[in-house]
């Protein structure tokens, strides 16, 4: 049974308190929070003050995904805002191991995200040090995109790497996850499904979360 992490990027920001309440009362496992800076990705979302506000009402872990340059500068601030998991992009970190150490030192789980063009092999020297691999199944920056089919091959490669190294890392898939493709994503080896548009555009978001949770 997969972990489900609804992405608040697709929520109605005018009704954020209600959206948080819905997730609190649903079968979802985590809140997925996408932070974009307009530099690493061509979009700007929300930042530390909004996450701190969400943290006051959220009753589940805050899975914060940093799509920003120089993420190491903000590790402590996101920890103070309430992040439970902090994921940084391998493409944005010159000193990735150091950044992972900083995240762990703040008491958070450390995640590393891979863009669609980044090979799984780039994780070989870090896989045993991290808790989550967030594999982007769309190009980061915007919600509502279609799942990139080649991601299934990469998930299988990553699962083998994790097994071969006795890593504890969870495989999180972010982008284009739907009720129609979730089964094959899980079968390939995914542990966590990030679902934004699929959840928040559904007639019954709570029911959609439950349906995704029941797959696999």
Query: Which residues have a catalytic role annotated?
Result: 34, 174
Please list the helix, strand and coil fractions of the chain in percent, rounded to the nearest 5, in that order: 45, 20, 35
Q: With contact defined as beta carbons under 8 Å apart, do 27 and 4 qualify? A: yes
| 72 φ, ψ (degrees, to nearest 5) | -60, -25
Token look-up 């996450």 returns: 51
Judging by beta carbons within 10 Å of its beta carbon (0-12, 13-18, 19+), is residue 139 exposed, middle or buried? middle
């Amino acid at each position: 049974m997969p972990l489900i992490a609804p992405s608040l990027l697709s929520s109605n920001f005018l009704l954020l308190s209600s959206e948080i309440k819905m997730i609190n009362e649903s079968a979802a496992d985590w809140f997925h929070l996408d932070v974009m800076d307009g530099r690493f990705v061509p979009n700007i979302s929300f930042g530390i003050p909004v996450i701190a506000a969400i943290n006051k009402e959220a009753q589940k872990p805050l899975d914060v995904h940093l799509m920003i340059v120089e993420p190491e500068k903000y590790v402590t601030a996101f920890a103070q805002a309430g992040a439970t998991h902090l994921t940084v992009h391998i493409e944005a970190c010159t000193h990735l191991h150091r950044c992972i150490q900083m995240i762990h030192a703040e008491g958070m789980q450390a995640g590393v995200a891979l863009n669609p063009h980044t090979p799984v092999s780039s994780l070989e020297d870090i896989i045993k040090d991290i808790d989550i691999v967030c594999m982007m199944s769309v190009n980061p920056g915007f919600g509502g995109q279609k799942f990139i089919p080649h991601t299934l091959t990469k998930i299988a490669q990553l699962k083998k790497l994790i097994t071969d190294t006795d890593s504890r890392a969870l495989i999180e898939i972010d982008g284009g996850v739907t009720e129609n493709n979730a089964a094959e994503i899980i079968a390939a080896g995914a542990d966590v499904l990030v679902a934004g548009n699929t959840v928040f555009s559904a007639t019954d978001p709570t029911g959609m979360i439950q349906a995704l949770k029941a797959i696999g």
